Structure 1
């Protein structure tokens, strides 16, 4: 297992692989209702086969250099994850995403983990633009985008049908010069 420390509180960022499907399902079960407020993942990861299929899809994405998933662990327990849903090194674009179970909320884990992901994408892979698509009602996720120094670019009105309702989506982004040059002021803050 290759893990990266996210600080001195026992938090780590680590790969998630198909062989970890049972652990991934247990994590999803602990946070199913909370995660499902804005994220359809709990509907996909409803059993071990669904968990394995989801992790296999990300293993294929990573093998194709088209995305990746990393788990967030706190004292060894899987409590969330960050993803690059889309990754295109040729175009220099990526879309980051995340989720966290309720017991791990309020510790800055997502902000720290996404910061590592963006830093890797920009500094190691040469990505020019990292996007963050979020439901307009998801205040905690919008707060992460702000803490990372992202800028809101658009609101796609009623663009996302989810559980019988249409939701507005916001698109936030950070560009490589802003990330590496600190021109946004808070890209590497809290």
Structure 2
């Protein structure tokens, strides 16, 4: 398969079902850190659940829906990015991310998400790319800002995560805004 370099030692690649063992090991290493704001580690608890999640994402991608990509550093899976939703007919999608603490602070998520956003607009002709983030997730909010997204608003207490209701901030960028920012 293919990989896109994010740095000399880091690559972005499609996560597929046959990566289930590697994906589970990654979730086990980063479970608490990753799970502070997103439910992915709570859904991937054993090899069967890792296969199921990766398989369901492959099925969605086959229907031109959500897509899932991993980030490796020195050959080790340390995080990922995804199109959590992807509606080509409506021209809207949502980008998301996660990362182990050992890989944080290197700009890998920003670079990987920039690749996804550019592909959504330039190749697929999307109109709007969204970023949904728990209101307390300052690092993810900073990534949205670095990517040139604008905070559209807050959905108050809309998401139950580990027994606690969270506010979700919605950030977005429109195709014409992205084009103007690239030419500036």
Q: Number of aligned residue pairs: give it.
A: 184
Distance in 2, Cα, partners of 1:19 & 1:160:
31
Q: Are positions 1:41 and 2:40 aligned together?
A: yes
Q: Does 1:4 align with 2:4?
A: yes
Q: Distance in 1 between matches of 2:99 and 2:156?
A: 26
The alignment partner of 2:136 has SS state of coil
Equivalent position of 1:124 in the other structure: 123
Structure-1 separation of matches of 2:178 and 2:29: 34
Asked if residue 80 in structure 1 is aligned to residue 99 in structure 2, the reply is no
Q: SS at the partner of 1:182?
A: helix
Q: CA deviation at 1:181?
A: 2.1
- 1:46 match: secondary structure: coil
Question: Cα offset for 1:184?
Answer: 10
* Alignment match, 1:188: none
Is the Cα–Cα contact under 8 Å of residues 178 and 184 in structure 1 kept in the other structure? no
Query: What are the residue-to-residue correspondences of 1:17-166 with 2, within 5 Å?
Result: 17-166=16-165
TM-score, structure 1 as length reference: 0.94
Q: What secondary structure, in the 3-state scheme, does the structure 2 residue paired with 1:70 have? A: strand
Cα distance in 2 between the residues matched to 1:184 and 1:97: 25
SS in 1 for 2:105: coil
Distance 2:120 2:46 in 1: 31
State the alpha-carbon separation in 2 of the partners of residues 66 and 81 from structure 1. Answer: 17
Could you state the TM-score of these two structures normalised by the residue count of structure 2?
A: 0.97
- SS state at 2:89 partner: coil
Matches of 2:125 and 2:74 in 1, distance apart? 32
Question: Residue 45 of structure 2 aligns to a residue in which SS?
Answer: coil
Native 8 Å contact 1:158 1:169 kept in 2? yes
Give distance in 2, aligned partners of 1:40 and 1:78. 18
CA RMSD across the alignment: 1.2
- What CA distance in whole angstroms lies between the structure 1 residues aligned with 2:163 and 2:10? 36
Does the CA contact (< 8 Å) of 1:177 and 1:183 recur in 2?
no
